Structure 1
Amino acid sequence: MTIVEYLQALLALGLALSLLMTMAWLVQQRTGNSGWVDTIWTFSVGLVGAAGAIWPVGGSAPSTRQWLVAVLVAVWSLRLGSHVAMRSRGIADDPRYAEFAKQWGAAAPRRMFLFLQQQAWGSVPLVFAMFVAAHAPAPELRLQDYLGVLVLLLGIAGEGLADAQLKAFRADPANKGKVCDHGLWRWSRHPNYFFEWVCWLSYPVIALSFDNPWGLASLLAPLLMYWFLVHVTGIPPLEQQMLRSRGDRYRAYQARTSAFFPLPPRDGATA
């Protein structure tokens, strides 16, 4: 592919995400439930990423690698999107976005629209990583392609396990008001976020090679996702909400448990 073709694809991916996140804003405004924003974002990234993966090059049919990456993207999107959708059905509003709306006051609709457009264009490196991985120039599947599949499946399995453990903890009435400190949650305060980040490592594994200089662009996906999860829309607002609702119990949990990377708990952790 030429540089012009890559830039055309980059613009098309961005415009598609912008349109879909405009739809997310309309849904949020109509329903009043900002929880649907994350659902639509996940399915939007999956749809645009899968479409970009099978983007035809020079009129030729999609290669085996293009179909492989498209399937990986679809599996990731359907698993996470379905989970977020089920969670959104059971809430009146997402506490993180609700707090933003409270801070924005009367300007909340306009600020939310701009925020979601920033989210759309900020997601372009994510779908571009999928695009670059799918269009790696090697004609046949390589060992690193299969390794990329394993990395993504590991991330999905770990995130699914973390979600299931948290759901089971919350379903027990005896745990009301407590902090989940069992299973993967004993080693990380956000194991679901960690394994979500692992999923994004799969695309550089597939894309990086000496004959594919565009493969370096795939590194932006895990770097950007780490920044989002750890410093922007993931851990900070969620932990603020947990401190408000759990107080000292959550402060004690913070003191003994790694925030992101799974590590042995420090002294004071409980089984």
Structure 2
Amino acid sequence: MNVWIQLLVLWLLAAVTMCLGWQWQRQRSNAGIVDVLWAAGVGGGAVLLAAFGSGATAPRVILAMLGGLWGTRLAVHLWRRVHGEPEDGRYRHLRAHWSGSQLRFFLFFQFQAVLIVLFSLPFLAVASNPRGPDAWTLSGLAIWLLSVLGEAIADHQLACFRADPAHRGHTCRDGLWRYSRHPNYFFEWIHWFAYVCLAIGSPIARLAWAGPLVMYVFLRWISGIPYTETQALRSRGDYRAYQRSTSMLIPWFPQRSDP
């Protein structure tokens, strides 16, 4: 199947899925479902492009397994939060800012469908790789394992902290959160370098760099850290001191901070 047709099919599936997600949030006033569907959509994109790719069998099978597992883990984790908690403060603020406009929410959900295609470009590169397993494959597997485990640990530590009612209004500094304000984002970013390694040898290997580059831009300046920290400053009185003492993204030893 032509690569453009593959991307078109992926976009159509993502657009329909986001339409259903928009209807879900409209009925429940909880836009957090968009994060669940994005993770599931990108993971599904890895499986779809692996199935129809023109590369060797080994990189396509590895891609389907790694991308599918990553997307499933993240989607399940996010669904537990969306299904069991009120709407995230970021989306409540957006809902108030947009005066509840469902047209804007619909366009927002459809923009996420476009992002699913954009973040699937690294998968297209891997699925076109004609080379079998080699040292780059092992490097990609090692990066994937380290990053997914790191993100899962960070998510678990935060979930345990949030589960204690005594911690309401306070900032998590447990485990990995002592060394980075966003360790989950850090490992999410590192995860995309796995596909750069897996794409080595592909005629379109450069597309794999779209993953770490675009993810860093979104996390650093657009939808990740800026929105999360703005909400944290609104809801946690100790967050300003946490910002002064703790590395923003890349884990590092905390510094002393005046209250």
Q: One fold, TM greater than 0.5?
A: yes
Answer yes or no: is the 8 Å Cα contact 2:233–2:239 preserved in 1: yes
Distance 1:135 1:149, change over 3 A: same
Q: Of 68, 83, 93, which aligns to 2:87?
A: 93
| Mapped partners of 1:149, 1:183: distance in 2 | 25
| Mapped partners of 2:192, 2:246: distance in 1 | 24
Distance 1:66 1:268, change over 3 A: same
| Mapped partners of 2:166, 2:107: distance in 1 | 42
Q: Superposed, which structure 2 residues align to 1:239-250 within 5 Å? A: 239-247=229-237, 249-250=238-239
Aligned to 2:218: 228
The Cα offsets for residues 109-159 of structure 1, whole Å up to 9 and x where unpaired, read as 100111121221123221121121122121x21121121111111111001
Q: Does 1:117 align with 2:117?
A: no
Answer yes or no: is the 8 Å Cα contact 2:33–2:79 preserved in 1: yes
Determine helix, strand or coil for the equivalent of 2:209.
helix
Answer yes or no: is the 8 Å Cα contact 2:45–2:116 preserved in 1: no
Q: CA RMSD in A?
A: 2.0
| Structure 1 stretches lacking a partner, 5+ long | none
| Mapped partners of 2:143, 2:7: distance in 1 | 25
The Cα offsets for residues 14-64 of structure 1, whole Å up to 9 and x where unpaired, read as 23222222222122112222122211121111112211111154xx9x712
Tell which deviates more after alignment, 151-160 or 37-46. 37-46
How many residue pairs get aligned? The number is: 259
Identity of aligned residues (%): 38
Determine helix, strand or coil for the equivalent of 2:99.
helix
Answer yes or no: is the 8 Å Cα contact 2:43–2:68 preserved in 1: yes
**Deviation for aligned residue 1:99:** 1.3
Q: Does 1:49 align with 2:61?
A: no
Q: Of 199, 207, 230, which aligns to 2:199?
A: 207
Aligned to 1:16: 13
| Mapped partners of 2:195, 2:245: distance in 1 | 33
| Mapped partners of 2:62, 2:200: distance in 1 | 16
TM-score (norm 1): 0.89
| Structure 2 stretches lacking a partner, 5+ long | none
**Deviation for aligned residue 1:75:** 0.8
Tell which deviates more after alignment, 39-48 or 184-193. 39-48
TM-score (norm 2): 0.93
Tell which deviates more after alignment, 227-236 or 172-181. 172-181
**Deviation for aligned residue 1:173:** 4.2
Q: Superposed, which structure 2 residues align to 1:5-154 within 5 Å? A: 5-57=2-54, 63-106=57-100, 108-138=101-131, 140-154=132-146
| Mapped partners of 1:269, 1:150: distance in 2 | 39
